[in-house]
Chains A and B, each alone.
Chain A
Amino acid sequence: MSGAAAERATDRAGARRKPELVCPAGSLRALTLAIDAGADAVYMGLKDATNARNFAGLNFDLATTREGIRYAQSRGRKVLMALNTFVDARDATPWLRAVDAAADLGIDALICADLAVLAYAARAHPQLRLHLSVQASATNYEAIEFYRSRYGIQRAVLPRVLTLSQVAHLARNTRAEIEVFGFGSLCVMVEGRCHLSSYATGQSPNNAGACSPAPHVRWIEQPKRGSGAVDARLNGILINRYAADEPRAYPTLCKGRFEVEGEIGYAIEEPTSLNTLPILPELIEAGVAAIKIEGRQRSPIYVEQVTRAWRQAIDAAWAQPARFSPTPAQTAALGRLSEGQQHTLGAYNRPWK
């Protein structure tokens, strides 16, 4: 066995550990509620296109970032900054200044995807902890090793497309910590590799920090189909049609109803959301270091309730993995929070494989 392989075998990250609970904060209020409800870390972004939830009325300026870091760190918790869009070819300044600001403020880690940002952070602030964003699309250990060996990333967030056994295999073969999505909206495409939104609107998660951006959404009443019937359009493109009595969902492109060979339906993805609570002991056994809750765009109350449910679940699954199963109360609470959407294990169990 070569030196590097021996080191990998003994120093691997795939050992069983209690996963950190990483919760979303779109505002200082969400951050403090998540910390109070038991988050080990919260992740946040600045009020601009440097992060993948660049929505109006959301996110942090430097003052609220400073306040959030103080609140979390004084309670022994962490704040992670998402700086996970791709630098604009014309002006890298907002991204590089954000790296400097995060380092100055004492952020616990930066979550980045762009080689430009990773390289700058690693060289200008070598002490700054780096996490590889899901937007970097690392789906195997060789990809993670590319970023680890060159930029020193200490953790990688995996796209929501891998099976549980693939997650476990990956964790056994990398020295980086592994973070997986546990709950919230589900991207069916590999994150960082989806241009559907820019094809329709010009703006995408990579180039603008937004998917199916709200300013391009139009709800158009269709009284001929009945009172309450609407069409949902994205930059003029018909994404979905709702009958008068149908529940409506935000017209995220991949969750629209389209026609394929004469059949109309959810041709890409049903409007479901991810809930991995039922396989929590397996995720722990696989050696994941952190479980991420999606939803910086969600309300502070939502974040608080999801955080509380997951705090209890992780504590229970860690203490007695063999006896763990989600309580009916947890399942019901999380179901309510998903606005009646169906829950799925997503790719982790791949019923469609």
Chain B
Amino acid sequence: MPSFSLAVGPVLTYWSRRALTAFYADVAESPADTVCLGEIVCSRRHEMKLDDWLALARDLKAAGKDVVLGAQALIESEAELRALRRIVDLGEFLVEANDAAALNLLAGRARFVVGPHVNVYSRLALDELAALGACRWVPPVELSVDAIGVINAAPFAPDGTDRRVQTEVFAFGRLPLAISARCFTARHYGLNRDECQFRCLDHPDGITLSTQEGEPFLALNGLQTQSARVQCLLGWRDAIAAAGITRLRLSPTARDFLPVIDSFHRVFNLGADAGAELAALQALALPGALADGYARGGAGHAWQAA
């Protein structure tokens, strides 16, 4: 039975330093083997400075975790470029690129991870990045498991070149769907982005946006828009294995996240029954109902449980 790496994705929402410290102390004890750290969404968020993230990264490394530093998804200013260069220049941890600026700085210098915000939809595109040093990729969230399988189907190029890249699929959490220069959380409170009062701190899972019929639809997370539903591929073990996917990204939620890691570990690595684990998972305090539509190539909000 193949075993799967469980990777804790970056905390995409804004948590207090105390909440983050407690969370990662728990993660250190969990069956997750990889942790991606850093602020992905907004450079105004400052509970953790780069040095704080690095201290945390070293602690997690000492606890036996593989640590990845996630780069910001939307880079507009010179200050944001400087922050990116600092992360790349460290050379201490694997870096996850989330835009082409990070690719440009990493290419040919270090092995790197291609994050979900870089658009790789085909083997041809992945080969371009593998040639520059990509050792792992997190496919765009809208790519189906079948399509990922097609991309992974030919691990060697016609000339024999080994072009295998580890695949880490977004298996759990509210889906990061879009990013803007405009802050929707600040807008909701009638505030400007530069005087946002850090209202994101009050919403550790984002703010749910519902249709006028009361159906939860999206979630506002500052510059980022997420799904209101929680992606969950707990029942997809066989299809995921068949698609050449060896890693599962679990994106943190504010409550009951540790039991989620345990459930994925039991189903994917210990042979537990997915149905029973799914029932247990649905009883947890998650921010929304479950979804898996993207995995089958349909609308992302749909849910069939594999």
Contacts and interface: CB of A to CB of B under 8 A. Distances in A.
B27 to A, nearest CB: 27
Contact of B193 (A146, A199, A352): A352
B124 A92 contact: yes
B299 A202 contact: yes
B194 interface: yes
A195 B175 contact: yes
B119 A86 contact: yes
A190 B225 CA distance: 11
A257 interface: yes
Most buried by A among B80, B101, B141, B147: B101
A273 interface: no
B76 A162 contact: yes
Interface stretch (B157-165, B215-223, B262-270, B278-286): B215-223
B100 A147 contact: yes
A193 B73 contact: yes
Nearest to B101: A142
A27 interface: no
B124 A115 contact: yes
B75 A261 contact: no
Given A115-B128, A264-B212, A194 B177 contact: yes
A150 B128 CA distance: 10
B299 A207 contact: no
B55 interface: no
Given A142-B104, A199-B299, A87 B293 contact: no
Contact of A206 (B78, B121, B124): B121
Nearest to B97: A146
Contacts of B103: 143, 146
Contact of A190 (B181, B210, B294): B181
Interface in B166-187: 175, 177-184, 186-187
Interface of A: 86-90, 92, 113-116, 119-120, 136-140, 142-147, 149-150, 161-162, 166, 169, 188-190, 192-196, 198-202, 204, 206-207, 235, 237-241, 254, 257-261, 263-264, 267-269, 347, 350, 352-353
